[in-house]
């Protein structure tokens, strides 16, 4: 992870400062105009490359047959692109800035292939919407619904929409309609995807979508189940790599009771989903923690722990 401090900025060395009050018709110092020319050249190149990237969209639609109903999202491809981005990144520009630029680009490219709407619940904190905007940008339409379950229901009615739902303790088991089978909505992503200590908004959330074409086995499987709501049981599971990502405890937090509805995230490594589910329930049972009725509701690529930024 990055440290809390932002990377130090370069100290200006005898660089003439432009006064924000200077009149635009005054000739800029030679050094400054040269720097601005360089910025203009770089901007033109970045823009030219973005247009060139967008010219691939029609071919993507025909190769992926995205014209047929269904979304163009390919979460595993996006995850590998983010790994490459983290690997390439260096210098003073915060990683989170670059991530946001690419998120805007990728989610717009996805939308240009197959339009979709992102559903966010007002019952979730306002930061959830910020998180969703960070990841899906401002070109893709957003729709606000009352509750997380409404956002999931909107996805169920669509062929390509998404919901972004905040994780943690929930007032209702909004995941009841999720399933990794059939046409049901499922979890396809985990946010934030790149763990950076100084991220401005870091609300833990999942992305829910209809079933996608060309599914790839996720690195982390997500199961709905019944189990305990108490923090010590969750901490025990966490130490063993099993994360309780959401829970609804209608009857309070009874230690050891199967009184809560849970959503758990289990790294798959080389296992298939059902083996991972059985192994997880068995290990928990040995420690007196009952995880009952595990059913797969999706999965995601493991979020990236970014290393400190290289100069
Ligand atoms: O690689 C694809 O399948 C694409 O559609 C391209 C692209 C992108 O813009 O890079 C867009 C959407 C996918 O989720 C992944 C990547």
Whether the per-residue pLDDT at 157 is higher than 70: the answer is yes
Give the tens place of pLDDT for each residue, 260-286.
Answer: 999 999 999 999 999 999 999 999 999
Long-range Cβ contacts of 241-250 (<8 Å, 24+ apart):
241/266, 241/267, 242/266, 242/280, 242/284, 245/167, 245/168, 245/204, 245/206, 246/167, 246/168, 246/169, 246/170, 246/174, 246/175, 247/168, 247/169, 247/170, 248/169, 248/170, 248/171, 248/172, 248/173, 249/169
Q: Band the pLDDT of 225: cuts 50, 70, 90.
A: very high
Q: Which of 215, 248, 269 is the last residue of a domain?
A: 215
Q: Which of 76, 77, 108 to mutate to test the pocket of ligand 1 (most atoms within 8 A of CB)?
A: 77
Q: Which of 197, 215, 233 is the last residue of a domain?
A: 215
Q: Are residues 201 and 241 in the same domain?
A: no
CB-ligand 1 contact for 77 (6 Å cutoff): yes
Whether 37 maps to a domain, the answer reads: no
Which ligand 1 atom lies nearest to the CA of residue 75?
Answer: 14
Interatomic CA distance for residues 197 and 194, integer angstroms: 10
| Domain span holding position 113 | 57-215
Q: Are residues 80 and 210 in the same domain?
A: yes
Among 21-35, 78-92, 149-163, 167-181, the minimum mean pLDDT is found in 21-35
Provide the pLDDT for residue 13: 37
Q: Are residues 62 and 199 in the same domain?
A: yes
Q: Are residues 78 and 124 in the same domain?
A: yes
Q: Are residues 61 and 200 in the same domain?
A: yes
Q: Band the pLDDT of 201: cuts 50, 70, 90.
A: confident
Q: Are residues 68 and 189 in the same domain?
A: yes
Q: Are residues 140 and 183 in the same domain?
A: yes
Domain at 228, CATH number:
3.30.70
Q: Give the Å distances, CA to CA, from 108 to 70, 105, 138, 162, 189.
A: 16, 5, 9, 14, 17
Whether 6 maps to a domain, the answer reads: no
CB-ligand 1 contact for 60 (6 Å cutoff): yes
Among 36-40, 130-134, 150-154, 227-231, the minimum mean pLDDT is found in 227-231
Provide the pLDDT for residue 88: 95
Q: Are residues 79 and 161 in the same domain?
A: yes
């Amino acid at each position: 992870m990055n440290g809390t401090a932002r990377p130090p900025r370069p100290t200006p060395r005898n660089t003439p400062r432009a006064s924000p009050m200077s009149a635009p018709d005054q000739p800029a110092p030679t050094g400054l105009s040269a720097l601005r020319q360089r910025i203009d050249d770089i901007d033109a190149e970045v823009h030219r490359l973005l247009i060139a990237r967008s010219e691939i969209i029609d071919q993507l639609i025909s190769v992926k047959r995205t014209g047929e109903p269904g979304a163009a999202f390919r979460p595993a491809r996006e995850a590998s692109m983010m790994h490459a981005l983290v690997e390439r990144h260096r210098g003073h520009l915060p990683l989170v800035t670059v991530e946001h630029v690419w998120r805007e680009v990728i989610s717009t490219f996805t939308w240009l292939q197959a339009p979709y709407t992102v559903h966010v619940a007002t019952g979730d904190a306002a930061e959830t919407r910020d998180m969703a905007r960070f990841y899906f940008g401002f070109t893709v339409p957003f729709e606000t619904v009352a509750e997380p379950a409404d956002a999931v229901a909107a996805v169920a009615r669509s062929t390509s929409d998404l919901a972004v739902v905040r994780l943690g303790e929930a007032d209702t088991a909004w995941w009841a309609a999720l399933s990794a089978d059939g046409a049901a909505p499922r979890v396809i992503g985990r946010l934030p995807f790149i763990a950076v200590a100084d991220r401005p908004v870091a609300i833990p959330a999942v992305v829910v979508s209809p079933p996608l074409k060309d599914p790839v086995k996720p690195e982390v499987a997500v199961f709905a189940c019944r189990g305990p709501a108490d923090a010590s049981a969750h901490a025990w599971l966490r130490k063993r790599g099993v994360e309780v990502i959401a829970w609804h405890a209608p009857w309070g937090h009874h230690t050891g009771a199967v009184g809560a509805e849970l959503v758990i995230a289990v790294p798959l490594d080389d296992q298939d989903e059902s083996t991972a589910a059985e192994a997880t329930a068995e290990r928990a049972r040995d420690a007196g923690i009952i995880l009952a009725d595990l059913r797969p509701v999706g999965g995601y690529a493991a979020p990236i722990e970014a290393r400190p930024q290289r100069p």
